Amino acid sequence: MTSSFLTSAAVFALLTLNVGALDTFIAAVYEHAVILPNKTEIPVSREDALILMNKNIDILEKAIKLAAQEGAKIIVTPEDALYGWTFTRETIFPYLEDIPDPNVNWIPCQDPNRFGHTPVQTRLSCLAKNNSIYVLVNIGDKKPCDSQDSTCPSNGYYQYNTNVVYNSEGKLEARYHKYHLYRELQFNVPKKPELVTFNTTFGKFGIFTCFDILFHDPAVTLVEDLHVDTILFPTAWMNVLPFLTAIEFHSAWAMGMRVNLLAANTHHVNLNMTGSGIYAPNSSKVYHYNMETASGKILLSEVDSHPRNSPDYPVARSWSSYASTIQPFPVQKHTFGGLISRDEFNFTELYESIGNLTVCQKELCCHLGYRMLKKEENEVYVLGAFTGLHGRRRTEYWQVCTMLKCKTANLETCGQPVEVASTRFEMFSLSGTFGTQYVFPEVLLSKIHLSPGKFEVLEDGRLVNKNGVSDPILTVSLFGRWYTKDSGVIINSPKLLISTLLIITALQNTVMT
Ligand SMILES: *[C@@H]1O[C@H](CO)[C@@H](O)[C@H](O)[C@H]1NC(C)=O
Ligand SMILES: *[C@@H]1O[C@H](CO)[C@@H](O)[C@H](O)[C@H]1NC(C)=O
Ligand SMILES: *[C@@H]1O[C@H](CO)[C@@H](O)[C@H](O)[C@H]1NC(C)=O
Ligand SMILES: *[C@@H]1O[C@H](CO)[C@@H](O)[C@H](O)[C@H]1NC(C)=O
Ligand SMILES: *[C@@H]1O[C@H](CO)[C@@H](O)[C@H](O)[C@H]1NC(C)=O
Ligand SMILES: *[C@@H]1O[C@H](CO)[C@@H](O)[C@H](O)[C@H]1NC(C)=O
Ligand SMILES: *[C@@H]1O[C@H](CO)[C@@H](O)[C@H](O)[C@H]1NC(C)=O
């Protein structure tokens, strides 16, 4: 009696605490075909900049209204959605507004003149307020600085690539300055990565932008230390096969990090920019990839407010546990080297229609067990391993195990972009002896499709198929990032590195004394 009374009291208390809280909510992302400015070396007037931004906001407005009508609580729009990406520091300037810290508690729609001339912020706030929906938009921030500050740029402003979120009352709820810029000379890197979160009745949210997703801070810290439920992720992402196509990598990051990810990409097919989605920890909910059309696309899906509480929440994985405990399969007669972009992989061919293979590079060994439905005569697959600093810049340390279709039957083409395949697999099981706990499971199908519900990652780190024969496969990969081995210099700001070192030294001294 007593114990059952206590139980119901506890349940009652829980229910009371969660009044107004939602178990699930509808999320929206909008892939926007940005109306770009004409190329110019002379800055346009503020009026012309506003005309262009308002044209883009007119289109976003339709998406926001539609999302709200469909019951969405929040909508994410893409990076650079109001003006594109081809700028110098001077030519972006007319597009920028000074965006205050959200602590000022400001509803621009109700108080438009409080922080000077801010028509873009006012309009966005009104869109959120009028439609009772949270809205994330990527805009440009300018922050005055002076000669006292030796890093102050010569025009007297720091310029930041910035995400703002307005809540359903139009209040500025969050502001995030992008940290990992990708060839964006028009913008400055903030002094340190910002950890921006906000609470709602439908979960806790974190924010970062585009290239940030490849690095530890702020992305991983938001999930692991600040325990956000959902990441808001605007991007202007150029697809790169075989591992970094937007839908493929973003869905894999959500699964690897076990968090919801709302990814809104810009749409510009000439630059291979397409691919948005709503990704849950166990599977992709909805995604869009379209190289045929020039228009935008709205995506809507119901997602868990607190995915960690769901019975379907994936288990934590020990990524190398299976691979490091089994006997490696016999070393292949024929292992060969090959390049994927600039990275030297070691490959071995899936010579039979069924088999067990191992390929290693330095300390990373990748194991694959597989069974093809039928070995197609003109299609060749390889198992590949790579561990090292990636690409030309050689700042990010990657560890990759991959099974991929070669472009042609010539083994020299393995790793080159290919978009179609016809080989279906009855079974695959991929694992590797990763040195990192940050591994993202990717499965990409013919014609650039995802494979929701048809694969999973086991607790011991094996990426395996499920629910029957697969559709034709381009690649099955375990993409690992070993952040602590990054060469990690932020090139724009050597001063920062020195001050960080000083702080670390100071901290160490404090601890020692
Ligand atoms: C670009 O230039 C053309 C021709 O001068 C003009 O018609 C068009 O409106 C301009 N576009 C923008 C976005 O300013
Ligand atoms: C918001 O609604 C008000 C009146 O309800 C209207 O005057 C205003 O133009 C609307 N603004 C936007 C951006 O929809
Ligand atoms: C968000 O909610 C959590 C749990 O209720 C609380 O611990 C945290 O302080 C809140 N954060 C903010 C920014 O309000
Ligand atoms: C787009 O992708 C294709 C195939 O991967 C590649 O050949 C082409 O160079 C890419 N275009 C750009 C602008 O990067
Ligand atoms: C495997 O990769 C390493 C490092 O790139 C290379 O030195 C070695 O020759 C490769 N092995 C084969 C068989 O290509
Ligand atoms: C592959 O290895 C598994 C055990 O790991 C074994 O059961 C299976 O028979 C092997 N398959 C082939 C084709 O060697
Ligand atoms: C993923 O989890 C959701 C609930 O959080 C569940 O409804 C769905 O069936 C799961 N999907 C897969 C593919 O396991």
| pLDDT mean for each 10 residues of the chain (513 residues) | 42 50 95 97 98 98 98 98 97 98 98 97 98 98 94 97 98 98 97 98 98 98 98 98 98 98 98 98 98 98 97 96 86 86 96 95 97 96 98 93 98 97 98 98 98 98 98 98 84 37 32 27
Residues 256 and 360 in one domain: no
Nearest bound ligand to CA 285? Answer: 7
Cβ–Cβ < 8 Å for 347, 359: yes
CA of 424 to the centre of ligand 5 (A): 29
CA of 479 to the centre of ligand 6 (A): 24
Q: Which of 127, 224, 138 is nearest to 176 (CA)?
A: 138
Query: Could you say which of 210, 401, 406, 414 is catalytic?
Result: 210
Query: Taking all residues of the chain, what is their mean pLDDT, rounded to a whole number?
Result: 92
Point out the ligand 1 atom lying closest to the alpha carbon of residue 36.
Answer: 13
* 199 Cβ below 6 A of ligand 3: yes
Residues 89 and 203 in one domain: yes
Q: What pLDDT is stored for residue 20 in this prediction? A: 74
Question: How many domains in the chain?
Answer: 2
Structural domain contains residue 18: no
CA of 316 to the centre of ligand 5 (A): 32
Pocket probe mutation, ligand 6, options 351, 356, 429, 431, max atoms within 8 Å of Cβ: 356
CATH code of 45's domain: 3.60.110.10
The token duo for 179 is 């940290």
Point out the ligand 3 atom lying closest to the alpha carbon of residue 197.
Answer: 13
Q: Where are the alpha helices (DSSP H) in 271-371?
A: 321-325
414 is catalytic: no
Point out the ligand 6 atom lying closest to the alpha carbon of residue 352.
Answer: 13
Residues 224 and 372 in one domain: no
362 is catalytic: no
CA of 272 to the centre of ligand 4 (A): 6
Structural domain contains residue 3: no
Q: How far apart are CA 332 and CA 358, in angstroms?
A: 7
178 is catalytic: yes
Range of the domain at 475: 321-512
List Cβ neighbours of 311 (8 Å cut-off, separation of 6 or more): none
Structural domain contains residue 7: no
Provide the pairing of β-strand 230-235 with 203-207.
parallel
Domain boundary (286, 309, 332) is at 309
Q: Where are the alpha helices (DSSP H) in 96-183?
A: 119-131
pTM, two decimal places: 0.91
DSSP-assigned beta bridge partners for residue 75: 28, 135
Point out the ligand 7 atom lying closest to the alpha carbon of residue 307.
Answer: 5
Q: Which of 169, 97, 180 is nearest to 138 (CA)?
A: 97
Residues 105 and 197 in one domain: yes
Q: What is the DSSP string of 57-103?
A: HHHHHHHHHHHHHTT-SEEE--TTTTT-S---HHHHGGG-BPPPPGG
Query: Could you say which of 73, 142, 178, 297 is catalytic?
Result: 178
Residues 50 and 115 in one domain: yes
